[in-house]
Structure 1
Amino acid sequence: MGNQLFPVFLKLNQMQTLVIGAGPVGLEKLQAVVRQSEQARIKVVAAEISDEVYAFAKEYPQIILEHKNYEAADLAGADLVIAATNNPALNLRIVEDGHHARLLVNIADKPELCDFYLGSIVKKGDLKIAISTNGKSPTIAKRLKELFQEHLPDGLDITLQQMSKFRQTLDGDFQDKVQKLNEVSAVLVRPAAKSPSFPFFKWLVWLTIMLSLAILLAIFWHREPEFQEYLINIDPIFYWFLLGGFIFAMVDGAIGMSYGVTSTAFSLSMGLPPASASMAVHLSEVLSNGIAGWMHYRMGNINWKLFRLLIIPGVIGAVGGAFLLSSLEHYSAYTKPLVSVYTLILGGVILSKAFKKPGKRKNGKIKQIVPLGFFGGFIDAVGGGGWGSIVLSSLIAGGRNARFSLGTVKITRFFIALMSSLTFITMLKYVHWEAVGGLIIGSALAAPIAAKVSNRISVKSIMVAVGIIVILVSLRSVIMFILKVL
């Protein structure tokens, strides 16, 4: 029969919305309504109200919270009803009561019980686009929303306001006004001119990858006797790094960050100098980030303009950081506590993010991409990690699309790891192959199952555990240095 829904836009600031349930799903529905109409008048009725709902309601005085069990009398004065309870019997009762009172009812995650859906909304100022899949696939609706949100220009609302003012100046009948507005707005549907250098740029990217890998293999070939010695006489420490690489990759798959900082903190605690630790971490990340970057490229998740702004300063910063850290290898007794302080700070950041409540997103996208790329690359090489934590979090916090930011950061991370590794290998006289091999194999074994396991473990719990472990390990290194000096 196809999609039988009739799309409408409701003036929720002139209506009364009743939300039943105040748990995680209730909070999600409450935020969805307020996000589209900050002046919406809402009453929340729930037997249990979460702290997050209380905190959210404090920001909007028009939201009324009633800590009580639902009754049919709660429908009095309501125009819309949204039920977000985990009680199927109560949901059916709400539907029956709502229909008896001639009200439209939405039951969370139960399309067959809904009179209306809360669809995905694209918002650019006064422009709103509603997307519906008739309840078949909220994921598709979400992806389309991200696509529109990313590609519709931010200046579109300015154009909309200018068109409104221009419309008010027009004279003549309705047909004349429509014709003039069509002529003026025709520029919005003209195909954008394609950059002739774009295909060449993509070929240049993959040519660089192949050339860099060839250089990396040549270096390994040059050091073949040293590498063969490790293969013949495997140090037992290899198995510790194998286990560590597996665990750290599983954690990274669950929360999307912290592989670098956990691997570096672990390597330092096992006695590796900072430069060797950073090299081992970056070498282990070349393959994983190359695969991840390729997958994001195939799925169209790369913002190539953002990639061009990040890649050059990021590589320069990474090579500069690797060169500096390798040059100070003789002073590893002093650089090691400095890097431990850095991982200690990152551990605190991870721990704080675990308990941080989601806030309002900043208006406007972050503009200082080039300095961000250089700083992220430099700190990543010096500290053994931080590219994702610094660059990705800054892009998303600054208003960038999360999916395109993740894909772009992943593919640029490949180059950062590759160029850092090349610099470390050419600068360092001694390579801890047991650490490199253990981390590479361990992380590769974890990759296929990390995503499945991550869906069954609380992200907050993982972040708390990782933050505490990194802090304790880093703190131990700093304290040992202080005791040694004293």
Structure 2
Amino acid sequence: MRSLILLGLVGFAAQLVDGSLGMAYGVTSTTLLLAIGTNPAAASATVHLAEIGTTLASGISHWRFNNIDWKVVAKIGVPGAVGAFAGATVLSGLSTETAAPVMSLILLTLGVYVLARFTVFGLPKGNLGKPLRKRFLAPLGLVGGFVDATGGGGWGPVGTPAILASGRLEPRKVIGSIDASEFLVAVAASVGFFVGIGSENIDFAWVAVLLLGGVVAAPLAAWLVRHVPPRVLGSAVGGVIVLTNVRTLLRSDWIDASGGVQTIAYITIAVIWAAAVAYSVREYRRDREHETVEAVEAELRRRSGEEEPAGAPN
């Protein structure tokens, strides 16, 4: 019973983070399942089965808050489903230990870029509103779906930073679109796991508890991403990406850092991340105050023009 309660809380927390930042449900949940001895294929299958419900609930919630670009969902979701099915069917005989550090290095680079760009410059507006091309989204979906199925998570960490870095879609719609398209990925991966390993290694009680926690958190997460300022949200997402992928790299065979080195690295990143978010909050408030002053001045000029005497010279 205690394990089920813990899984429910993990499902709630993971979906709260995933729904508001566009990543981490699969990574968080799979990590816990692996820690208690579940084999990788069964752990990933369990999480993806739960994600069928959580991503559906999350997608509906984001849709209600107008956080979704359906064109992006179609362009990235279908290739993502293909990649997820392929990844699920080969997971039993595939080791991602070598590929994980390479992917983490790429994601870390994107994470540093996103963190710096949103913290220093705020929401990128130069490309905002420009369409995201299928030639960009389709390969991204294929890679993200494959990594998600083989690693038990990765759809958000691959898709969210790449689309954020393009600067063509505001953060809340990036997150909403990634969460909505993940439903297709979860369904395809689950079908692939049933084909590859069957259902005998899957604990459906765990699936139900993870699902319940995620469904409860989904509406709250969708509301949260709708109301958090884009600049602050971008800094928060960037910090998650950096911290997650530095952790993977430090624990990989490439580096194999000691516990002390890892602790120092995590503390350093956490301090920088907190400072970045605090700076973004301060700059956001300053920008809002500036916009308010400009709006008041414009209104005063408008009223002054309306009150000008009819016979006054031009």
CA shift in 2, pair 1:270/1:371, >3 Å: same
* 2:41 equivalent to 1:275: yes
User: Is residue 380 from structure 1 mapped to residue 151 from structure 2 by the alignment?
Assistant: no
How far residue 242 of structure 1 moved from its aligned partner, in angstroms, is 2.1
* Equivalence map 1:164-313=2 (5 Å): 236-297=2-63, 303-313=69-79
Deviation at 1:318, TM superposition (A): 1.0
Secondary structure of the residue aligned to 1:357 is helix
CA distance in 2, matches of 1:281, 1:315: 16
Unpaired segments of 5 or more residues in structure 2? 258-314
For the structure 1 residues 387 and 462, does the alpha-carbon distance in structure 2 shift closer, same or farther, using more than 3 Å as the test? closer
Structure 2 residue aligned with 1:442: 213
Corresponding residue number in structure 1 for 2:178: 409
Matches within 5 A, 1:30-429: 236-297=2-63, 303-325=69-91, 327-328=92-93, 335=95, 337=97, 341=101, 348=108, 352=112, 355-358=115-118, 363=127, 365-367=131-133, 368=135, 369-402=137-170, 404-428=173-197, 429=200
Looking at structure 1, the residues matched to 19 and 62 of structure 2 have their Cα atoms a distance apart, in angstroms, of: 15
Amino acid at match of 1:419: A
Distance 2:79 2:97 in 1: 27
Counterpart Cα distance in 1 of 2:71 and 2:237? 34
Question: Does the 8 Å CA contact 1:318/1:381 hold for their aligned counterparts?
Answer: yes
Listed one character per residue, the Cα deviations across residues 133-158 of structure 1 (whole Å, up to 9, x for unaligned) are: xxxxxxxxxxxxxxxxxxxxxxxxxx
CA distance in 1, matches of 2:253, 2:71: 41
Change (3 A) 1:440 1:317: same
**CA 1:252–1:303 in 2, change beyond 3 Å: closer, same or farther?**
closer
TM-score by length of 2: 0.59
The change in CA–CA distance for 1:411 and 1:471 in structure 2 (over 3 A counts) is same
- 8 Å CA contact retained: 1:265, 1:470: no
Indicate the structure whose relative CO is greater, using CA pairs within 8 Å and at least 6 residues apart: 2
Shift of 1:323: 0.6
Distance 1:351 1:243, change over 3 A: farther
Q: How much has 1:279 moved relative to structure 2?
A: 1.6
8 A Cα contact 2:111 2:238, kept in partner: yes
What is the DSSP-based 3-state SS (H/G/I as helix, E as strand, rest coil) of the residue aligned with 1:291?
Answer: helix
More strand by share: 1
2: CA distance, partners of 1:297 / 1:434: 29
Deviation per CA, 1:62-87: give whole Å up to 9, x if none.
Answer: xxxxxxxxxxxxxxxxxxxxxxxxxx
1:384 deviates by: 1.9
Cα pair distance change 1:372/1:473, threshold 3 Å: closer
1:433 and 1:477 mapped to 2: Cα distance?
Answer: 31
d(CA) in 1 for partners of 2:64, 2:223: 21
Q: Which deviations, in whole Å up to 9, do the C-alpha atoms of 1:422-464 show, x marking residues without a partner?
A: 22134224113354233222223333544677879x8657975
Contact kept? 1:361, 1:398, Cα under 8 Å:
no
8 Å contact from structure 1 (residues 313, 370) kept in 2: yes
Match runs of 1:21-36 below 5 Å: none
Contact 2:26–2:47 (CA under 8 A) maintained in structure 1:
yes
Identity %: 31
Q: How many residues align?
A: 242
* TM-aligned CA deviation for residue 290 of structure 1: 1.1
Quick check: 1:307–1:412 contact (8 Å CA) kept in 2?
A: yes
Which has the larger helix fraction? 2
Residues 33 and 43 in structure 2, CA contact (< 8 A), matched pair in contact too: yes
User: 1:418, CA displacement in angstroms?
Assistant: 1.3
State the distance in 1 between where 2:32 and 2:141 align.
Answer: 26
Write out per-residue CA displacement over residues 228-249 of structure 1, whole angstroms, 9 at most, x where no aligned residue.
xxxxxx5x43333223222222
TM-score, structure 1 length as denominator?
Answer: 0.41
Work out which of the two has the higher radius of gyration on C-alpha atoms and give 1 or 2: 1
